[in-house]
Structure 1
Amino acid sequence: MNETVESIEKIKKSLMRPAVVFEIGGFRPPEDPLTPWFGKVTVAARDERWPTNPDGTPMWALGQVNLSALDCVPEALKDVAFLTIFFGPNHPQDEDPNGTNWLIRTYASLEELSPLEQMKTSSHLKPFPMRPGEPVEDYPVWDGGDIPEDVRDLILQLRDEGEIEDYHDLIELHNGFKVGGHPCFIQPSTSVDEPFEFVLQIDSTGKGNLMWGHHSGSAYFSRDPRTNEWCMTWDCF
Protein backbone atom coordinates (compact mmCIF):
# COMPACT_ATOMS: atom_id res chain seq x y z
CA MET A 1 0.00 0.00 0.00
CA ASN A 2 1.53 3.32 -1.06
CA GLU A 3 1.65 6.46 1.03
CA THR A 4 -1.15 8.23 -0.89
CA VAL A 5 -3.58 5.35 -0.40
CA GLU A 6 -2.71 5.18 3.29
CA SER A 7 -3.34 8.92 3.63
CA ILE A 8 -6.71 8.68 1.89
CA GLU A 9 -7.78 5.78 4.08
CA LYS A 10 -6.74 7.72 7.18
CA ILE A 11 -8.78 10.72 6.07
CA LYS A 12 -11.89 8.71 5.33
CA LYS A 13 -11.66 6.65 8.51
CA SER A 14 -11.35 9.76 10.68
CA LEU A 15 -14.24 11.61 9.03
CA MET A 16 -16.80 8.98 8.02
CA ARG A 17 -20.08 8.66 9.90
CA PRO A 18 -22.86 6.30 8.77
CA ALA A 19 -26.17 7.87 7.80
CA VAL A 20 -29.61 6.68 6.73
CA VAL A 21 -31.30 8.72 4.00
CA PHE A 22 -35.06 8.33 3.56
CA GLU A 23 -36.98 8.00 0.33
CA ILE A 24 -40.02 10.28 0.44
CA GLY A 25 -43.16 8.96 -1.28
CA GLY A 26 -43.46 7.00 -4.48
CA PHE A 27 -45.12 3.99 -2.89
CA ARG A 28 -48.40 3.02 -1.23
CA PRO A 29 -48.63 4.02 2.47
CA PRO A 30 -48.34 1.01 4.78
CA GLU A 31 -51.06 0.56 7.39
CA ASP A 32 -48.53 0.34 10.24
CA PRO A 33 -48.93 3.48 12.42
CA LEU A 34 -45.19 3.38 13.14
CA THR A 35 -44.34 3.89 9.46
CA PRO A 36 -41.92 6.78 8.89
CA TRP A 37 -43.77 9.81 7.54
CA PHE A 38 -42.96 13.19 6.09
CA GLY A 39 -45.60 15.81 6.89
CA LYS A 40 -47.56 13.53 9.20
CA VAL A 41 -47.44 12.32 12.81
CA THR A 42 -49.71 9.44 13.82
CA VAL A 43 -48.65 8.52 17.37
CA ALA A 44 -47.70 9.99 20.73
CA ALA A 45 -47.51 8.97 24.37
CA ARG A 46 -50.89 8.15 25.88
CA ASP A 47 -51.00 11.38 27.89
CA GLU A 48 -49.83 13.63 25.04
CA ARG A 49 -52.02 15.76 22.81
CA TRP A 50 -51.34 17.61 19.58
CA PRO A 51 -48.69 20.23 20.36
CA THR A 52 -49.28 23.96 20.27
CA ASN A 53 -47.05 27.00 20.50
CA PRO A 54 -47.13 29.20 23.62
CA ASP A 55 -49.70 31.41 21.88
CA GLY A 56 -52.02 28.44 21.40
CA THR A 57 -51.58 27.97 17.66
CA PRO A 58 -51.36 24.29 16.64
CA MET A 59 -48.05 23.17 15.21
CA TRP A 60 -47.69 21.42 11.87
CA ALA A 61 -46.64 17.79 11.60
CA LEU A 62 -43.18 17.60 10.04
CA GLY A 63 -42.58 13.88 10.35
CA GLN A 64 -41.91 10.77 12.41
CA VAL A 65 -39.13 8.17 12.43
CA ASN A 66 -39.03 4.67 13.91
CA LEU A 67 -35.40 4.59 14.97
CA SER A 68 -35.72 1.06 16.34
CA ALA A 69 -36.21 -0.20 12.77
CA LEU A 70 -33.06 1.42 11.34
CA ASP A 71 -29.86 -0.50 10.64
CA CYS A 72 -27.79 2.23 12.27
CA VAL A 73 -28.42 5.32 14.39
CA PRO A 74 -25.96 7.87 15.81
CA GLU A 75 -24.67 7.33 19.34
CA ALA A 76 -26.61 10.39 20.52
CA LEU A 77 -29.87 8.58 19.64
CA LYS A 78 -29.07 5.11 20.95
CA ASP A 79 -31.57 5.52 23.80
CA VAL A 80 -34.41 6.66 21.52
CA ALA A 81 -36.75 4.19 19.80
CA PHE A 82 -39.05 6.67 18.07
CA LEU A 83 -39.24 10.40 17.49
CA THR A 84 -41.78 12.84 16.13
CA ILE A 85 -41.18 16.32 14.73
CA PHE A 86 -43.46 19.35 14.55
CA PHE A 87 -42.87 22.94 13.49
CA GLY A 88 -44.55 26.23 12.52
CA PRO A 89 -46.77 27.85 11.62
CA ASN A 90 -44.21 30.62 12.18
CA HIS A 91 -40.82 29.87 10.65
CA PRO A 92 -38.46 28.63 13.41
CA GLN A 93 -35.51 30.83 14.31
CA ASP A 94 -32.16 29.63 15.65
CA GLU A 95 -32.87 31.05 19.08
CA ASP A 96 -36.24 29.30 19.43
CA PRO A 97 -36.12 26.56 22.10
CA ASN A 98 -37.64 23.13 21.59
CA GLY A 99 -41.38 23.72 21.98
CA THR A 100 -41.55 27.14 20.36
CA ASN A 101 -42.14 27.11 16.59
CA TRP A 102 -40.66 23.61 16.49
CA LEU A 103 -40.81 20.50 18.66
CA ILE A 104 -39.17 17.09 18.82
CA ARG A 105 -40.65 14.41 21.03
CA THR A 106 -38.66 11.26 21.81
CA TYR A 107 -39.74 7.86 23.12
CA ALA A 108 -37.52 5.22 24.66
CA SER A 109 -39.91 2.39 23.82
CA LEU A 110 -42.55 1.73 21.17
CA GLU A 111 -44.79 0.47 23.96
CA GLU A 112 -45.26 4.09 25.07
CA LEU A 113 -47.02 4.97 21.85
CA SER A 114 -50.71 5.14 21.00
CA PRO A 115 -52.69 6.82 18.21
CA LEU A 116 -52.48 10.62 18.29
CA GLU A 117 -55.76 12.46 17.87
CA GLN A 118 -55.34 14.59 14.78
CA MET A 119 -55.89 18.34 14.78
CA LYS A 120 -56.80 20.59 11.87
CA THR A 121 -53.92 22.96 11.21
CA SER A 122 -52.94 25.50 8.57
CA SER A 123 -50.13 23.25 7.29
CA HIS A 124 -49.39 23.36 3.56
CA LEU A 125 -47.07 20.35 3.69
CA LYS A 126 -47.94 17.35 1.53
CA PRO A 127 -47.68 14.14 3.59
CA PHE A 128 -45.83 11.16 2.17
CA PRO A 129 -44.75 7.85 3.70
CA MET A 130 -41.00 7.37 3.85
CA ARG A 131 -38.72 4.37 3.84
CA PRO A 132 -35.09 4.20 4.90
CA GLY A 133 -32.31 3.42 2.49
CA GLU A 134 -29.29 1.29 3.25
CA PRO A 135 -26.70 2.99 5.48
CA VAL A 136 -24.29 5.18 3.53
CA GLU A 137 -20.88 6.62 4.31
CA ASP A 138 -21.33 10.32 5.01
CA TYR A 139 -18.67 13.02 5.33
CA PRO A 140 -18.57 16.64 6.52
CA VAL A 141 -18.64 19.70 4.29
CA TRP A 142 -15.24 21.36 3.94
CA ASP A 143 -16.06 24.56 5.83
CA GLY A 144 -18.45 23.21 8.48
CA GLY A 145 -15.97 22.89 11.35
CA ASP A 146 -16.08 19.08 11.52
CA ILE A 147 -12.67 18.38 9.98
CA PRO A 148 -9.79 18.26 12.51
CA GLU A 149 -6.82 20.46 11.72
CA ASP A 150 -4.40 17.58 11.17
CA VAL A 151 -6.80 15.91 8.72
CA ARG A 152 -7.37 19.19 6.91
CA ASP A 153 -3.60 19.61 6.58
CA LEU A 154 -3.28 16.12 5.13
CA ILE A 155 -6.01 16.83 2.56
CA LEU A 156 -4.30 20.08 1.54
CA GLN A 157 -1.00 18.25 1.26
CA LEU A 158 -2.52 15.70 -1.14
CA ARG A 159 -3.99 18.52 -3.20
CA ASP A 160 -0.69 20.44 -3.32
CA GLU A 161 1.15 17.29 -4.38
CA GLY A 162 -1.34 16.77 -7.21
CA GLU A 163 -2.69 13.51 -5.81
CA ILE A 164 -6.23 14.94 -5.71
CA GLU A 165 -7.82 18.01 -7.27
CA ASP A 166 -10.26 18.68 -4.46
CA TYR A 167 -11.51 17.37 -1.11
CA HIS A 168 -14.69 16.21 -2.83
CA ASP A 169 -12.66 13.76 -4.92
CA LEU A 170 -12.35 11.72 -1.73
CA ILE A 171 -15.80 11.84 -0.22
CA GLU A 172 -19.54 11.96 -0.89
CA LEU A 173 -22.08 14.25 0.77
CA HIS A 174 -25.65 13.11 1.40
CA ASN A 175 -28.57 15.52 1.59
CA GLY A 176 -32.29 14.96 2.08
CA PHE A 177 -34.16 13.65 5.09
CA LYS A 178 -31.40 11.80 6.91
CA VAL A 179 -30.59 10.40 10.33
CA GLY A 180 -26.95 10.41 11.38
CA GLY A 181 -23.94 11.35 9.32
CA HIS A 182 -22.79 14.96 9.13
CA PRO A 183 -24.81 18.13 8.57
CA CYS A 184 -24.55 19.35 4.97
CA PHE A 185 -24.30 23.02 5.91
CA ILE A 186 -24.97 25.46 3.10
CA GLN A 187 -23.49 28.53 4.78
CA PRO A 188 -19.95 28.29 6.24
CA SER A 189 -20.94 30.16 9.41
CA THR A 190 -23.39 27.43 10.44
CA SER A 191 -22.21 25.01 13.15
CA VAL A 192 -23.26 22.71 15.99
CA ASP A 193 -22.00 23.68 19.43
CA GLU A 194 -21.13 21.26 22.23
CA PRO A 195 -22.60 19.48 24.12
CA PHE A 196 -25.08 19.01 21.29
CA GLU A 197 -24.47 16.35 18.66
CA PHE A 198 -25.95 16.48 15.16
CA VAL A 199 -28.43 13.65 14.53
CA LEU A 200 -31.02 14.70 11.94
CA GLN A 201 -31.25 16.79 8.75
CA ILE A 202 -34.42 17.73 6.87
CA ASP A 203 -34.04 19.49 3.53
CA SER A 204 -36.44 21.64 1.58
CA THR A 205 -38.53 19.56 -0.80
CA GLY A 206 -40.79 20.71 -3.59
CA LYS A 207 -42.54 17.35 -3.47
CA GLY A 208 -43.51 17.88 0.14
CA ASN A 209 -44.00 21.65 -0.26
CA LEU A 210 -41.42 22.46 2.43
CA MET A 211 -39.04 25.38 2.15
CA TRP A 212 -36.49 26.43 4.76
CA GLY A 213 -35.69 30.11 4.30
CA HIS A 214 -36.02 31.82 0.95
CA HIS A 215 -34.32 29.27 -1.29
CA SER A 216 -33.76 25.51 -0.90
CA GLY A 217 -32.56 25.55 2.70
CA SER A 218 -31.94 22.76 5.18
CA ALA A 219 -32.69 22.31 8.88
CA TYR A 220 -30.29 20.58 11.27
CA PHE A 221 -31.35 19.05 14.57
CA SER A 222 -28.90 18.24 17.36
CA ARG A 223 -29.31 16.55 20.73
CA ASP A 224 -27.55 16.42 24.07
CA PRO A 225 -28.08 12.73 24.96
CA ARG A 226 -27.35 13.33 28.63
CA THR A 227 -30.30 15.69 29.10
CA ASN A 228 -32.50 15.02 26.03
CA GLU A 229 -32.21 18.71 25.20
CA TRP A 230 -32.47 19.63 21.53
CA CYS A 231 -31.42 22.53 19.39
CA MET A 232 -32.02 23.33 15.75
CA THR A 233 -30.60 25.65 13.15
CA TRP A 234 -31.22 26.14 9.46
CA ASP A 235 -29.56 27.86 6.55
CA CYS A 236 -30.29 28.39 2.87
CA PHE A 237 -28.73 29.54 -0.39
Structure 2
Amino acid sequence: MNETVESIEKIKSCLKRPAVVFEIGGFRPPEDPLAPWFGKVTVAAREEKWPTLADGTPMWALGQVNLSTLDCVPEALKDVAFLAIFFGPKHPQQEDPNGTNWLIRTYASLEELVPLEQMKTSSHLKPFPMRPGEPVEDYPVWDGGDIPEDISDLILRLEDEGKIEGYHDLIELHGGFKIGGHPCFIQPGTSVSESFEFVLQIDSTEKGNLMWGHDSGCAYFFRDPRTNEWCMTWDCY
Protein backbone atom coordinates (compact mmCIF):
# COMPACT_ATOMS: atom_id res chain seq x y z
CA MET A 1 0.00 0.00 0.00
CA ASN A 2 1.53 3.30 -1.09
CA GLU A 3 1.64 6.46 1.01
CA THR A 4 -1.29 8.16 -0.75
CA VAL A 5 -3.58 5.16 -0.29
CA GLU A 6 -2.55 4.90 3.37
CA SER A 7 -3.32 8.58 3.88
CA ILE A 8 -6.74 8.27 2.27
CA GLU A 9 -7.53 5.23 4.44
CA LYS A 10 -6.45 7.18 7.51
CA ILE A 11 -8.73 10.07 6.58
CA LYS A 12 -11.72 7.81 6.03
CA SER A 13 -11.11 5.74 9.15
CA CYS A 14 -10.94 8.86 11.31
CA LEU A 15 -14.02 10.58 9.90
CA LYS A 16 -16.56 7.90 9.01
CA ARG A 17 -19.62 7.27 11.14
CA PRO A 18 -22.42 4.79 10.44
CA ALA A 19 -25.79 6.22 9.50
CA VAL A 20 -29.22 4.93 8.53
CA VAL A 21 -31.07 6.89 5.83
CA PHE A 22 -34.81 6.36 5.46
CA GLU A 23 -36.74 5.95 2.23
CA ILE A 24 -39.88 8.10 2.38
CA GLY A 25 -42.97 6.68 0.68
CA GLY A 26 -43.28 4.61 -2.47
CA PHE A 27 -44.67 1.51 -0.76
CA ARG A 28 -47.80 0.32 1.01
CA PRO A 29 -48.22 1.60 4.58
CA PRO A 30 -47.49 -1.15 7.13
CA GLU A 31 -50.06 -2.22 9.72
CA ASP A 32 -47.51 -2.08 12.55
CA PRO A 33 -48.22 1.09 14.61
CA LEU A 34 -44.54 1.20 15.60
CA ALA A 35 -43.34 1.39 12.00
CA PRO A 36 -41.41 4.54 11.00
CA TRP A 37 -43.42 7.42 9.57
CA PHE A 38 -42.82 10.85 8.13
CA GLY A 39 -45.52 13.38 9.01
CA LYS A 40 -47.29 11.02 11.40
CA VAL A 41 -47.03 9.88 15.04
CA THR A 42 -49.22 6.96 16.08
CA VAL A 43 -48.16 6.09 19.65
CA ALA A 44 -47.19 7.66 22.97
CA ALA A 45 -46.86 6.73 26.63
CA ARG A 46 -50.16 5.94 28.32
CA GLU A 47 -50.38 9.27 30.15
CA GLU A 48 -49.31 11.43 27.19
CA LYS A 49 -51.65 13.47 25.04
CA TRP A 50 -51.13 15.13 21.68
CA PRO A 51 -48.67 17.99 22.28
CA THR A 52 -49.78 21.61 22.02
CA LEU A 53 -48.17 25.02 22.18
CA ALA A 54 -48.59 27.20 25.26
CA ASP A 55 -51.74 28.72 23.76
CA GLY A 56 -53.28 25.30 23.13
CA THR A 57 -52.56 25.15 19.40
CA PRO A 58 -51.85 21.52 18.36
CA MET A 59 -48.34 20.80 17.15
CA TRP A 60 -47.72 18.98 13.87
CA ALA A 61 -46.48 15.40 13.66
CA LEU A 62 -43.06 15.34 12.01
CA GLY A 63 -42.31 11.65 12.33
CA GLN A 64 -41.53 8.60 14.43
CA VAL A 65 -38.72 6.03 14.44
CA ASN A 66 -38.49 2.62 16.07
CA LEU A 67 -34.79 2.60 16.94
CA SER A 68 -34.94 -0.95 18.32
CA THR A 69 -35.27 -2.33 14.77
CA LEU A 70 -32.29 -0.48 13.27
CA ASP A 71 -28.98 -2.20 12.54
CA CYS A 72 -27.03 0.71 14.05
CA VAL A 73 -27.80 3.75 16.17
CA PRO A 74 -25.52 6.46 17.60
CA GLU A 75 -24.08 5.92 21.06
CA ALA A 76 -26.12 8.90 22.27
CA LEU A 77 -29.33 6.96 21.42
CA LYS A 78 -28.38 3.53 22.80
CA ASP A 79 -30.81 3.93 25.70
CA VAL A 80 -33.73 4.95 23.43
CA ALA A 81 -36.03 2.36 21.83
CA PHE A 82 -38.43 4.74 20.12
CA LEU A 83 -38.71 8.44 19.41
CA ALA A 84 -41.46 10.73 18.18
CA ILE A 85 -40.96 14.20 16.70
CA PHE A 86 -43.37 17.14 16.54
CA PHE A 87 -42.94 20.74 15.43
CA GLY A 88 -44.75 23.93 14.46
CA PRO A 89 -47.08 25.36 13.50
CA LYS A 90 -44.74 28.27 14.22
CA HIS A 91 -41.41 27.68 12.50
CA PRO A 92 -38.84 26.70 15.16
CA GLN A 93 -36.12 29.23 15.86
CA GLN A 94 -32.52 28.31 16.63
CA GLU A 95 -32.83 29.21 20.31
CA ASP A 96 -36.14 27.40 20.95
CA PRO A 97 -35.76 24.66 23.60
CA ASN A 98 -37.34 21.23 23.24
CA GLY A 99 -41.05 21.49 23.96
CA THR A 100 -41.72 24.95 22.53
CA ASN A 101 -42.00 25.11 18.73
CA TRP A 102 -40.62 21.60 18.39
CA LEU A 103 -40.71 18.48 20.56
CA ILE A 104 -38.92 15.14 20.70
CA ARG A 105 -40.30 12.42 22.93
CA THR A 106 -38.12 9.40 23.74
CA TYR A 107 -39.05 6.01 25.14
CA ALA A 108 -36.72 3.46 26.70
CA SER A 109 -39.09 0.56 26.06
CA LEU A 110 -41.72 -0.28 23.47
CA GLU A 111 -43.86 -1.80 26.19
CA GLU A 112 -44.86 1.63 27.50
CA LEU A 113 -46.36 2.69 24.15
CA VAL A 114 -50.09 2.79 23.40
CA PRO A 115 -52.07 4.30 20.50
CA LEU A 116 -51.98 8.10 20.56
CA GLU A 117 -55.35 9.79 20.19
CA GLN A 118 -55.06 11.85 17.04
CA MET A 119 -55.85 15.55 16.95
CA LYS A 120 -56.88 17.69 14.01
CA THR A 121 -54.08 20.13 13.21
CA SER A 122 -53.27 22.71 10.56
CA SER A 123 -50.34 20.63 9.29
CA HIS A 124 -49.60 20.80 5.55
CA LEU A 125 -47.17 17.88 5.73
CA LYS A 126 -48.01 14.83 3.65
CA PRO A 127 -47.60 11.66 5.76
CA PHE A 128 -45.69 8.75 4.27
CA PRO A 129 -44.44 5.47 5.72
CA MET A 130 -40.66 5.24 5.87
CA ARG A 131 -38.26 2.34 5.42
CA PRO A 132 -34.70 2.25 6.79
CA GLY A 133 -31.88 1.56 4.38
CA GLU A 134 -28.79 -0.49 5.09
CA PRO A 135 -26.19 1.30 7.25
CA VAL A 136 -23.88 3.53 5.23
CA GLU A 137 -20.57 5.24 5.92
CA ASP A 138 -21.24 8.93 6.42
CA TYR A 139 -18.71 11.77 6.47
CA PRO A 140 -18.71 15.40 7.63
CA VAL A 141 -18.97 18.42 5.38
CA TRP A 142 -15.65 20.24 4.96
CA ASP A 143 -16.48 23.35 6.98
CA GLY A 144 -18.82 21.78 9.55
CA GLY A 145 -16.35 21.58 12.41
CA ASP A 146 -16.18 17.77 12.60
CA ILE A 147 -12.77 17.34 10.94
CA PRO A 148 -9.78 17.33 13.34
CA GLU A 149 -7.03 19.78 12.47
CA ASP A 150 -4.43 17.10 11.75
CA ILE A 151 -6.79 15.40 9.29
CA SER A 152 -7.71 18.65 7.54
CA ASP A 153 -3.97 19.43 7.25
CA LEU A 154 -3.40 16.01 5.68
CA ILE A 155 -6.24 16.55 3.19
CA LEU A 156 -4.88 19.97 2.19
CA ARG A 157 -1.38 18.55 1.76
CA LEU A 158 -2.66 15.79 -0.54
CA GLU A 159 -4.51 18.43 -2.56
CA ASP A 160 -1.43 20.66 -2.81
CA GLU A 161 0.66 17.71 -3.97
CA GLY A 162 -1.94 16.85 -6.62
CA LYS A 163 -2.57 13.40 -5.15
CA ILE A 164 -6.30 14.03 -4.73
CA GLU A 165 -8.67 16.44 -6.48
CA GLY A 166 -10.40 17.47 -3.27
CA TYR A 167 -11.92 16.25 -0.03
CA HIS A 168 -15.40 15.63 -1.42
CA ASP A 169 -13.98 13.35 -4.10
CA LEU A 170 -12.91 10.97 -1.32
CA ILE A 171 -16.14 10.70 0.64
CA GLU A 172 -19.92 10.59 0.32
CA LEU A 173 -22.41 12.78 2.17
CA HIS A 174 -25.84 11.42 3.06
CA GLY A 175 -28.80 13.71 3.51
CA GLY A 176 -32.51 13.06 3.90
CA PHE A 177 -34.16 11.68 7.02
CA LYS A 178 -31.12 10.22 8.74
CA ILE A 179 -30.24 8.62 12.07
CA GLY A 180 -26.56 8.88 13.01
CA GLY A 181 -23.65 9.93 10.85
CA HIS A 182 -22.67 13.59 10.58
CA PRO A 183 -24.82 16.70 10.11
CA CYS A 184 -24.77 17.92 6.51
CA PHE A 185 -24.55 21.59 7.44
CA ILE A 186 -25.44 23.93 4.58
CA GLN A 187 -23.99 27.03 6.20
CA PRO A 188 -20.52 27.02 7.86
CA GLY A 189 -20.00 27.89 11.49
CA THR A 190 -23.02 26.08 12.93
CA SER A 191 -22.27 24.69 16.39
CA VAL A 192 -23.90 23.48 19.62
CA SER A 193 -22.64 22.77 23.13
CA GLU A 194 -20.05 19.98 23.34
CA SER A 195 -22.28 18.02 25.73
CA PHE A 196 -24.71 17.39 22.87
CA GLU A 197 -24.11 14.73 20.23
CA PHE A 198 -25.60 14.79 16.73
CA VAL A 199 -28.13 11.98 16.26
CA LEU A 200 -30.79 12.96 13.70
CA GLN A 201 -31.18 14.99 10.51
CA ILE A 202 -34.39 15.82 8.65
CA ASP A 203 -34.08 17.49 5.25
CA SER A 204 -36.66 19.50 3.40
CA THR A 205 -38.70 17.23 1.17
CA GLU A 206 -40.95 18.19 -1.71
CA LYS A 207 -42.75 14.86 -1.47
CA GLY A 208 -43.62 15.44 2.19
CA ASN A 209 -44.26 19.19 1.67
CA LEU A 210 -41.67 20.16 4.29
CA MET A 211 -39.43 23.19 3.93
CA TRP A 212 -36.93 24.38 6.52
CA GLY A 213 -36.31 28.09 6.10
CA HIS A 214 -36.91 29.76 2.78
CA ASP A 215 -34.88 27.50 0.48
CA SER A 216 -34.37 23.73 0.83
CA GLY A 217 -33.07 23.83 4.38
CA CYS A 218 -32.27 21.07 6.83
CA ALA A 219 -32.81 20.51 10.56
CA TYR A 220 -30.26 18.87 12.86
CA PHE A 221 -31.06 17.36 16.25
CA PHE A 222 -28.58 16.78 19.07
CA ARG A 223 -28.96 14.90 22.38
CA ASP A 224 -27.14 14.84 25.70
CA PRO A 225 -27.61 11.17 26.72
CA ARG A 226 -26.74 11.89 30.35
CA THR A 227 -29.71 14.22 30.83
CA ASN A 228 -31.99 13.35 27.87
CA GLU A 229 -31.82 17.02 26.91
CA TRP A 230 -32.17 17.90 23.24
CA CYS A 231 -31.29 20.85 21.08
CA MET A 232 -31.87 21.54 17.42
CA THR A 233 -30.73 23.94 14.78
CA TRP A 234 -31.47 24.37 11.09
CA ASP A 235 -30.02 26.20 8.14
CA CYS A 236 -30.87 26.72 4.49
CA TYR A 237 -29.43 27.97 1.21
TM-score by length of 1: 0.99
Q: Residue deviations 1:37-85, cap 9 Å, x none?
A: 0000000000000001112111000000000000000000000000000
The equivalent of 2:30 in structure 1 is 30
Whether 1:4 aligns to 2:4 is yes
Verify the 8 A CA contact 1:80 1:108 in the aligned structure 2: yes
**Deviates further, 219-228 or 46-55:** 46-55
What is the match of residue 191 of structure 1? 191
Q: Is the 8 A contact 1:67 1:73 kept in 2?
A: yes
Alpha-carbon separation, structure 2, partners of 1:149 and 1:57:
46
Q: 1:84-117: per-residue Cα shift (whole Å, max 9, x none)?
A: 0000000000110000000000000000100000
Q: Partner of 2:170 in structure 1?
A: 170
Alignment of 1:138-157 (within 5 A): 138-157=138-157
2:151 aligned counterpart, secondary structure: helix
User: Within 2, Cα distance between the matches of 1:213 and 1:169?
Assistant: 29
- Partner AA of 2:171 in structure 1: I
Whether 1:74 aligns to 2:74 is: yes
Correspondence list, 1:1-237, <5 A: 1-237=1-237
Unaligned runs of 5+ in 1: none
Contact 2:124 2:209 in 1 (8 A): yes
Q: For the residues of structure 2 that align with 1:169 and 1:86, how far apart are their CA atoms?
A: 36
Contact 2:145–2:189, Cα closer than 8 Å, also in 1: no
SS at match of 2:13: helix
Which whole-Å CA distance do the structure 1 matches of 2:211 and 2:90 have between them?
12
Displacement, 1:189?
2.1
Shift of 1:169: 1.1
Distance (Å, rounded) in 2 between the aligned partners of 1:109 and 1:48: 15
Return the alpha-carbon distance in structure 2 between the equivalents of residues 64 and 192 of structure 1: 24
Question: How much does 1:192 deviate?
Answer: 3.1
Whether the aligned pair in 1 keeps the contact of 2:39 and 2:127 (CA below 8 Å) is yes
Structure 1 Cα separation of the partners of residues 217 and 210 of structure 2: 9
Q: Give the aligned residue type for 1:212.
A: W
Distance 1:192 1:202 in 2: 17
CA contact (8 A) 1:192 1:198 kept: no
Gaps of 5+ in 2: none
Root-mean-square deviation (CA, aligned residues, Å) is 0.5
Paired residues, number: 237
Would you say the 8 A contact 1:179–1:199 is kept in 2? yes
Q: For 1:63, what is the secondary structure of its paired residue?
A: strand
What is the identity, as a one-letter code, of the residue corresponding to 1:214?
Answer: H
SS of equivalent to 1:62 = strand
Identity within the alignment, % = 88
Q: Distance in 2 between matches of 1:173 and 1:161?
A: 24
Deviation at 1:193, TM superposition (A): 2.5
Q: Distance in 2 between matches of 1:178 and 1:192?
A: 19
Deviation (angstroms), 1:209: 0.3
Indicate if the aligned counterparts of 2:52 and 2:59 stay in contact, CA closer than 8 A: yes
Question: C-alpha separation between the residues in 1 aligned to 2:107 and 2:39?
Answer: 19
Residue type matched to 1:96 in 2? D
